[in-house]
Amino acid sequence: MTTTTAAPTTAPAVGGVRGLDPLDLDLLVIGGGTAGLVAAKTAARFGARTLLVEAHRMGGDCLWTGCVPSKSLIAAAQAAAATRNGGAFGVSSASLDVDFGAVMRHVHAAIHEIEPVDSVEATEESGARVVLGRARFTGHRTAEITMLEGGESVAVRFRQAVIATGSAPAVPTLDGIEALEVLTSDSVWNLEQLPARLAVLGAGAIGSELGQAFARLGSSVTLVQRGERILPKEDPDASAIVTAAMQRDGVDVRVGSAAVRVHAADDGLSGTLHLADGSAIEFDRLLVALGRRPRIDGLGLEAAGVQLDDAGFVRVDDTLRTSNRRIWAAGDVSGLPQFTHLAGVNGSLAATNAALGLRRRVDADAVPRVTFTHPEVGAVGLAPADAEREGCTVSEVRHSHVDRAIADDETEGFTRLVIDRKGHVRGAVVVGPRAGETIGEASLAVRQGLRTSDIASTTHPYPTYSDAFWNAAIADVRARLERGTVGTVIGLLQHWRRFSSR
């Protein structure tokens, strides 16, 4: 299969941008991914003279190499797994044929279906102007833009700026790896054939999602994790459930295993991965998923007086302002949690603060995250492991008691709510199919300070996986009614009712 990439839409050169003096910008936005797009559109709608500069293609990682392609691949993998496992429901297929070329055509079709939403034209409809080029700060409020076509450079002056250049996959300095063409979450979408043997280095969200998806599509996958468990940032019980699910899908999960060197074969694609315990893994392709690094090369941050943190990301305060009072940062480049939904929210926040002079602050307590393995893992707010330290309790419902999970034969999961002394929901963890949908309701509860009584008194549809969230809230309300002053009052009321009805 030949992968085709749409050519970038050409935007006008800076000097020709309609009605915009290039030397008098209210807001310069660098980067056309989620954070940059939202920032530019937000500021433009406020009436700010806004210019967005994108050095590659509009839409950023989420559209081209992240959310959209990965979830499209996962959907295909789920279809393969459903066919393979249909016997449990009395549905069987004589054979399972995965056409990897067709799978990748589906992935790229999804990208191109969504692409117009993030295009130059869609962005300019908001009133912002777009240039395809590279921006470099030349001072605290000046920059130079070099066009992708023609190489013309133009100097601009801005009142405020937002850095939204995102991040890129990090590749380790592993002995021998320089001789290998490794796959990353950026390049894996260029595959034309399904690797017979795929080694995945790193078992965070990206490595776990892609590793399981490729196994379901038919690759022999070995997942290598230096730490003691996969998904190390998630609840340990969630990690255990996903590990078991991966193993059922055929993934060879190697935890506590550090890679020490790579031996590349003559083709530069296949080879052997050597681990610290002396074992070796033969692979046809190696996928590296060991975190991400900020895209800051060539931005001229030193000239702008923009400082970096210890990890090399742009340092921001809780309003997303950098060390230069005129420059803000949003999205992955800021070093905050690297989620598309957070990039969008913070892009809006940075643009609002920059364009209107406000001081809105980042909400760090209600940021949901979802790992789209099967089962999914969703989490928000205070972790159950930290509940006792914060004076909170945990209400849990196992999905073996959820009717929809029983009907779907997907009972190996749970929903946990972290609840403070006054009944406010402080956090949640959901493990199961469509956990990402339920965690949205949990995020609302955490953000708005809802009590379990608010959730329990709200009618939920049946049968759904969100029954577990509802019933966890109901269980907490019942426990509160049975103890303390409230329980005493209820007992007295019942006694009075019995006495008065004689």
Q: Among 376, 411, 414, 374, which residue's Cα sits nearest to residue 394?
A: 414
Name the amino acid, one letter, at 393: T
Rounded CA separation 74/55 (Å): 29
Q: What number is the average pLDDT over the span 438-445?
A: 97
Q: What number is the average pLDDT over the span 447-474?
A: 97
% of the chain with per-residue pLDDT over 90: 88
- Give the model confidence (pLDDT) of 279-292 as tens digits: 999 999 999 999 99
| pLDDT classification of 95: cutoffs 50, 70, 90 | confident
Domains by residue range for the chain, with CATH: 14-58+119-168+293-356 (3.50.50.60), 177-290 (3.50.50.60), 369-485 (3.30.390.30)
pLDDT for the residue numbered 482? 84
Residue 445 has pLDDT above 60, yes or no: yes
Q: What number is the average pLDDT over the span 108-118?
A: 97
- Give the model confidence (pLDDT) of 208-223 as tens digits: 999 999 999 999 999 9
pLDDT for the residue numbered 413? 98
- Give the model confidence (pLDDT) of 345-355 as tens digits: 999 999 999 99
| pLDDT classification of 21: cutoffs 50, 70, 90 | low
Q: What number is the average pLDDT over the span 331-358?
A: 97
Q: What number is the average pLDDT over the span 13-22?
A: 48
* Residues shown for the chain: 502
> What is the DSSP code (8-state) at residue 420?
-
Residue 91 has pLDDT above 70, yes or no: yes
Residue 3 has pLDDT above 60, yes or no: no
Q: What number is the average pLDDT over the span 258-263?
A: 96
Residue 383 has pLDDT above 50, yes or no: yes
Q: What number is the average pLDDT over the span 56-61?
A: 96
Distances (CA, A) of 12 to 15, 20, 32, 130, 222: 8, 11, 15, 7, 48
| pLDDT classification of 22: cutoffs 50, 70, 90 | low
Q: Among 380, 376, 369, 372, which residue's Cα sits nearest to residue 443?
A: 380
Mean pLDDT for the chain overall:
93
pLDDT for the residue numbered 10? 44
Q: Among 194, 249, 188, which residue's Cα sits nearest to residue 223?
A: 249
Which is higher by pLDDT, 495 or 409? 409
